[in-house]
Each structure stands twice: as structure tokens, then as C-alpha cells.
């Protein structure tokens, strides 16, 4: 068997070496000529088409240790797959070893401590399902098929609970990690505190997390949430309203503004399907009755379609799932901003009108609240004091639409650079190079590089928004 190595060379794996891995491994080892190979190598983004040398579908931490040691011994190129939602496709490699956690999705809620522990390949739908059975939730992703692994490790800075309960990483209490030399460590505030700090935003740079423990909060099961849709001729008015509205909100309300075409979704009247719209989306993380007066100014604008209503929290968390299935093509870029000047609003409206496919959209997410009351160096995520994140997300179904969509995202993003952005969220970035990674982590990059040197000195875990080990 031949594999790609970290330095670009090739490793010949003998039958004896492979047999050693087989003996230590309980899950599934999937080779390129196995019938499951194609399904297993494909991740969410249809743009990514890579063929690993071997896929190690782990059944638990012991398998992860065996796979990491095998990769380390032979200096193999490694990709770690959690939920497979990485936009740039970091969870699959060409020719190397794909350590696949998709069979590790166990979840256990502990009611006594109000915590949940979930395996490294679990999805947000898994965590929400078990937690909501007890009226509990942690700050998680807004699409139920996104992995908790990549999202938490990148910081988890987009969630409907962010202003009330902080980011996903803020709710992480401990993590079991297999580091580059195959050691199994439990990191928390009191054990391997440097590693624990790095895991709360530093991405998959520091090891393979086999399980995550999160703090839970009382949420729902019904929450006042959803979206108000306005026809495009009001786009500027609604965008300006939004920028003003968010200036004074209680922590309970987390919101976003979208410029989109109303999707052909069953929850929308057919008359609006496909029409350009400005959308204000919101979730009130408190009693629905208390949220009504807070969202009243949005309703007072008389939206064309008003879908802000009490709904089950799990319904909110899977609201967008059907629109973004596995295999869709996607490209995304993003930046944080302290303020959105009037000239930027004009640019946003003009660029939205140039998008090549209706499914593509932008979202402006408002922050502040609990997340902003924590210092920027408390975790690697250094954008806590930013007011907004603004992302250009292109989605399309036909390969012939790729070039136009990628160009639209890149050009739109570039045009926004004129309005003083401050760096991105690593989970909303394409492959944009080392300087962009540094820019995103701001003052925290050098500390991350020093911790990387301790836990992964050879940069075995490099398929991520990579932090190079400090020299
Ligand atoms: P993967 O592709 O499996 O992994 C992404 C990266 O994390 C890779 O580098 C991988 O090696 C590493 N990794 C994954 N699991 C582990 C693990 N257990 N141990 C070590 N390394 C690991 N972000 C938000 O903050 N909020 C959202 O609501 C949100 N919604 C999204 C919706 C969609 C449809 C998509 C495509 C993305 C969304 N994101 C969101 C971005 C998301 O956070 C990132 O794409 C994230 O990397 C996905 O994690 P994953 O485990 O699914 O991805």
C-alpha cells in the first residue's frame, strides 16, 4: 500500500505493518477498492473530491490512538473527519490517512451536573436531541448535520444562544484528546490547561478530540424564533433598521440579517419563492411571552411573511437542514466588523444583486452580550468585541456554476475589505493562507503556536486552518 506523507513523499506500507494496524483496530478500515469507499470519502461540500489512501472509521478512543500512532510512525498525511462540514474540505486528504469519527456519535446527558458528554464525531442534531429531552441545550450550530468537532474546536461563534450563553467553546468543560504522539489526555481548566485553552478556538491543530463535555442550560423546549421576510425593494430600509435595532437588545435575543432569495421551502408561501428578500432572523432564549415585546419592532415593519413564532427549539435547529444537503456545492468567506458604515450598506445591496445563483446569500450576525463580556485572550477566539460578522456564502447545485459563484464570493469579500474588517472566524474561511489565520487569531496566534509545539511538534495535524509549531 502506498500513502502520501507529510513532506510530500510516498510511504510503502508493508502487509506486516498494515496487519499491525488491523489487529489494534476495531472499527472499519476502508481501502480505495472497497464498496463503501466513495460514500465514506465524500464530505458535505460537493466541491471537494479527494481520495485518501485509507479511511479508518474509528469505533472509539482506542481506534483513534491506533490510527494516530500508525500515521505518526510512517509520517503519513492525516485528515480528521468529524461532521464533515469543513468548507475547504479539511476533513479529507488525497492519498493519506483519513481518521473518520463518523461512527462515534454517542451522547450522554448528566442531569445531576447539568452537562452533556458527546463523542468526537457527534452532530449538533445528536446533542440537541438528547439534551432537549430534558429541556436543556448548549450553544451549538444552527444546522443539525454540522459536526460538534470542527465547530467547537474552531470556537463555535455562531449560535442562536451566543448572546445569552456565549460561544460553543465557552461552554466546553473538558475534552478527551489523542495528541500527535498517541497520548490520551483529558484537558480542562485544571488539567493540561494550556491544551484546554487552545482547544477552545484553535481548531483541529492539537489532536483528535474523542469526546467533548459541555455545560447545559435550560432552553425551550419552545422558543420564540424564526424569521421575518421583506421584499427586496425595502432592502436598504430593512438593513438600516436592523443596524439601529440591534444597538439595544437584551442578551436573550440573538439575531441575523440575511440578503437572499426566498428559498422554495414548504414553510414559505409559494408566492414568495425565488423572490429577492431581506430577512431578519431571531431567537429569543427565554420565555416566549417575554420575547414578544422585544421582537415587536420587527413585526411593526409589516413583513411580507412573518415566521417569528413560538416553535420547538429542535425545529429551529433543523430549520435550514433541507436547504443544505450533503453534496451541495459551496464556497464561503467572512470577516468581523466593529461597525457597518452607510457606504457599506450601499455596497451590500449592490453586491447582493449580482449573485449568480438564488441559493447564495449573505448573513450579518450581531454579537455582544455574554460572549463579549469575556476577554479576547480568555480563549483563542479573538473577535469577541466585534459587533458583527459578515459572511458571503455561495451555494449551487451544478458544477458549471462553480466559477461564477467562487468569483462572486471573492470579489464581494474583497470589496468589503474597504470597510475596515478585523479578521475572520476560522470556521468560515476558505484556504486563505497563513497571514489570514494569524489575522483571525490576532494577539493569540503566538501562544497557539507555542502550545502547538508542545502537543504536535511535527505538525501532524495540518489539514485545518493551520497554526505552525513555534520554533
Ligand atoms: P469537519 O469537516 O469534520 O472538520 C472540520 C475541521 O475540524 C477539520 O480540520 C477537522 O480535522 C477538524 N475536526 C473535526 N472534528 C474533530 C475532532 N473531533 N478532533 C479534532 N479535529 C476535528 N459554524 C458555526 O459556528 N455555527 C453554525 O451554525 C454553523 N453552521 C454551519 C452550517 C453548514 C451547512 C456548514 C457547512 C458549516 C457551518 N458552520 C457553522 C461552520 C462549521 O463550524 C465548520 O464547517 C466546522 O469545521 C464543521 O465541523 P465538522 O466537524 O462538521 O467538520
Whether residue 392 contacts residue 332, with contact meaning beta carbons closer than 8 Å, is answered with: yes
Q: Is 53 in the pocket of ligand 1 (CB under 6 A)?
A: no
Phi, psi of 288 (to 5 degrees): -55, -40
Quote the ligand 1 centre to 288 CA distance (angstroms). Answer: 30
Distance CA 295, CA 12 (A): 62
Whether residue 160 contacts residue 137, with contact meaning beta carbons closer than 8 Å, is answered with: no
Would you place residue 185 in the very low, low, confident or very high pLDDT band (cuts 50, 70, 90)? very high
Would you place residue 368 in the very low, low, confident or very high pLDDT band (cuts 50, 70, 90)? very high
Q: Is 141 in the pocket of ligand 1 (CB under 6 A)?
A: yes
What is the percent of the chain where pLDDT is above 70? 100
Model pLDDT for residues 325-360, shown as the tens digit of each residue: 999 999 999 999 999 999 999 999 999 999 999 999
Say yes or no to pLDDT of 1 above 90. Answer: no
Bridge partners (DSSP) of residue 276 are: 261
Q: Is 201 in the pocket of ligand 1 (CB under 6 A)?
A: no
Would you place residue 273 in the very low, low, confident or very high pLDDT band (cuts 50, 70, 90)? very high
Q: Which residue, by CA, sits nearest to atom 37 of ligand 1?
A: 85
Q: Please give the helix or strand (H or E) that residue 435 lies within, else none.
A: helix 434-441
Q: Which residue, by CA, sits nearest to atom 41 of ligand 1?
A: 427
Question: Residues 92, 98, 104, CA angle at the centre, nearest 5°?
Answer: 105
Ligand 1 nearest atom to the CA of residue 427, by list position: 44
Quote the ligand 1 centre to 146 CA distance (angstroms). Answer: 6
| Residue 266: per-residue pLDDT | 86
Say yes or no to pLDDT of 265 above 90. Answer: no
Q: Is 158 in the pocket of ligand 1 (CB under 6 A)?
A: yes
Model pLDDT for residues 22-36, shown as the tens digit of each residue: 999 999 999 999 999
Q: Which residue, by CA, sits nearest to atom 11 of ligand 1?
A: 80
Q: Where do the H-state alpha helices sit in 201-327?
A: 235-245, 288-299, 313-318
| Residue 353: per-residue pLDDT | 96
Q: Is 464 in the pocket of ligand 1 (CB under 6 A)?
A: yes
Bridge partners (DSSP) of residue 79 are: 98
| Residue 267: per-residue pLDDT | 86
Q: Name the least confident of 37-41, 131-135, 418-422, 443-447.
A: 418-422
Q: Report helix, strand or coil for 230.
A: strand
Q: Is 291 in the pocket of ligand 1 (CB under 6 A)?
A: no
Whether residue 215 contacts residue 113, with contact meaning beta carbons closer than 8 Å, is answered with: no
Quote the ligand 1 centre to 426 CA distance (angstroms). Answer: 10
Mutate to test the pocket of ligand 1, among 91, 172, 322 (most ligand atoms within 8 A of CB): 91
User: Where are the strands (E) in 238-360, listed by range?
Assistant: 253-261, 276-284, 305-306, 309-312, 329-337
Model pLDDT for residues 101-121, shown as the tens digit of each residue: 999 999 999 999 999 999 999
Say yes or no to pLDDT of 85 above 90. Answer: yes
Between β-strands 184-188 and 217-218, what pairing exists: parallel, antiparallel or unpaired? unpaired
Ligand 1 nearest atom to the CA of residue 92, by list position: 2
Written as nine digits, the cell of 29 is 478500515
Distance CA 234, CA 224 (A): 24
Model pLDDT for residues 146-157, shown as the tens digit of each residue: 999 999 999 999
Dihedral-angle region of residue 67 (phi above 0 means left; psi in -120 to 50 means alpha; beta otherwise): alpha
pTM of the model: 0.97
Between β-strands 388-396 and 78-81, what pairing exists: parallel, antiparallel or unpaired? unpaired
Q: Report helix, strand or coil for 68.
A: helix
Distance CA 279, CA 3 (A): 48
Quote the ligand 1 centre to 81 CA distance (angstroms). Answer: 9
| Residue 299: per-residue pLDDT | 98
Question: Residues 167, 173, 177, CA angle at the centre, nearest 5°?
Answer: 105
| Residue 131: per-residue pLDDT | 98
Phi, psi of 363 (to 5 degrees): -135, 135
Q: How far, in Å, are 234, 275, 308 from residue 302 at the CA level?
A: 11, 17, 12
Ligand 1 nearest atom to the CA of residue 79, by list position: 11
User: Where are the strands (E) in 44-123, listed by range?
Assistant: 54-57, 78-81, 97-100, 107-110, 115-119
Quote the ligand 1 centre to 305 CA distance (angstroms). Answer: 32
What is the percent of the chain where pLDDT is above 90? 97
Sign of CA dihedral 123, 160, 427, 118: negative
Q: How far, in Å, are 106, 253, 462, 465 from residue 90 at the CA level?
A: 23, 33, 9, 8
Mutate to test the pocket of ligand 1, among 56, 86, 142 (most ligand atoms within 8 A of CB): 86
| Residue 183: per-residue pLDDT | 98
Distance CA 471, CA 462 (A): 16
What is the pLDDT of the chain when averaged over all its residues? 96
Amino acid at each position: 500500500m502506498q500513502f502520501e506523507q507529510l513532506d510530500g513523499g510516498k510511504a510503502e506500507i508493508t502487509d506486516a505493518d498494515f496487519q499491525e494496524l488491523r489487529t489494534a483496530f476495531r472499527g472499519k478500515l476502508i481501502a480505495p477498492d472497497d464498496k463503501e469507499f466513495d460514500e465514506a470519502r465524500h464530505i458535505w461540500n460537493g466541491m471537494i473530491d479527494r481520495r485518501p489512501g485509507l479511511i479508518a472509521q474509528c469505533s472509539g478512543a482506542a481506534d483513534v490512538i491506533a490510527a494516530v500512532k500508525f500515521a505518526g510512525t510512517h509520517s503519513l498525511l492525516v485528515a480528521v473527519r468529524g461532521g464533515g462540514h469543513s468548507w475547504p474540505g479539511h476533513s479529507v486528504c488525497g492519498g493519506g490517512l483519513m481518521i473518520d469519527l463518523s461512527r462515534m456519535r454517542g451522547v450522554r446527558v448528566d442531569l445531576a451536573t447539568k452537562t452533556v458528554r458527546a463523542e468526537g464525531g457527534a452532530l449538533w442534531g445528536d446533542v440537541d436531541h438528547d439534551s432537549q429531552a430534558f429541556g436543556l441545550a448548549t450553544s451549538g450550530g444552527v444546522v443539525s448535520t454540522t459536526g460538534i468537532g470542527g465547530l467547537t474546536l474552531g470556537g463555535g461563534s455562531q449560535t442562536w444562544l451566543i448572546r445569552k450563553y456565549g460561544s460553543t467553546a465557552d461552554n466546553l468543560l473538558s475534552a478527551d484528546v489523542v495528541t500527535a504522539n498517541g497520548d490520551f489526555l483529558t484537558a480542562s481548566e485544571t488539567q493540561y490547561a494550556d491544551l484546554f485553552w487552545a482547544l477552545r478556538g484553535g481548531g483541529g491543530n492539537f489532536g483528535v478530540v474523542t469526546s467533548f463535555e459541555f455545560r447545559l442550560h435550560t432552553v425551550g423546549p419552545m422558543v420564540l424564533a424564526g424569521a421575518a421576510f421583506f421584499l427586496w425593494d425595502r432592502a436598504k430600509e430593512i438593513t438600516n433598521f436592523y443596524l439601529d435595532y440591534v444597538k439595544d437588545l437584551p442578551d436573550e435575543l440573538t439575531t441575523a440579517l440575511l440578503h437572499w432569495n426566498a428559498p422554495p421551502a414548504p414553510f414559505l408561501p409559494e408566492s414568495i419563492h425565488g423572490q429577492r428578500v431581506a430577512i431578519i432572523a431571531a431567537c429569543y432564549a427565554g420565555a416566549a411571552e417575554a420575547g414578544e415585546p422585544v421582537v415587536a419592532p420587527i413585526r411593526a415593519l409589516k413583513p411580507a411573511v412573518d415566521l417569528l413564532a413560538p416553535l420547538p427549539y429542535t425545529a429551529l435547529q433543523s430549520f435550514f437542514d433541507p436547504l443544505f444537503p450533503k453534496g451541495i456545492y459551496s464556497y464561503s468567506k467572512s470577516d468581523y466588523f466593529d461597525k457597518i458604515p452607510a457606504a457599506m450598506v450601499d455596497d451590500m445591496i449592490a453586491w447582493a444583486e449580482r449573485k449568480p445563483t438564488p441559493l447564495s446569500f449573505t448573513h450579518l450576525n450581531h454579537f455582544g452580550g455574554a460572549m463579549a463580556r469575556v476577554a479576547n485572550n480568555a480563549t483563542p477566539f479573538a473577535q469577541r468585541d466585534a459587533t458583527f460578522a459578515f459572511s458571503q456564502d455561495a451555494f449551487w447545485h451544478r458544477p458549471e456554476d462553480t466559477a461564477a459563484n467562487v468569483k462572486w464570493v471573492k470579489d464581494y469579500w474583497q470589496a468589503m475589505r474597504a470597510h475596515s474588517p478585523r479578521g475572520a472566524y476560522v470556521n468560515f474561511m476558505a484556504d486563505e493562507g497563513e497571514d489570514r489565520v494569524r489575522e483571525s487569531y490576532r494577539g493569540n496566534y503566538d501562544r497557539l503556536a507555542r502550545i502547538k509545539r508542545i502537543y504536535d511538534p511535527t505538525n501532524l495535524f495540518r489539514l485545518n486552518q493551520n497554526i505552525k509549531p513555534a520554533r
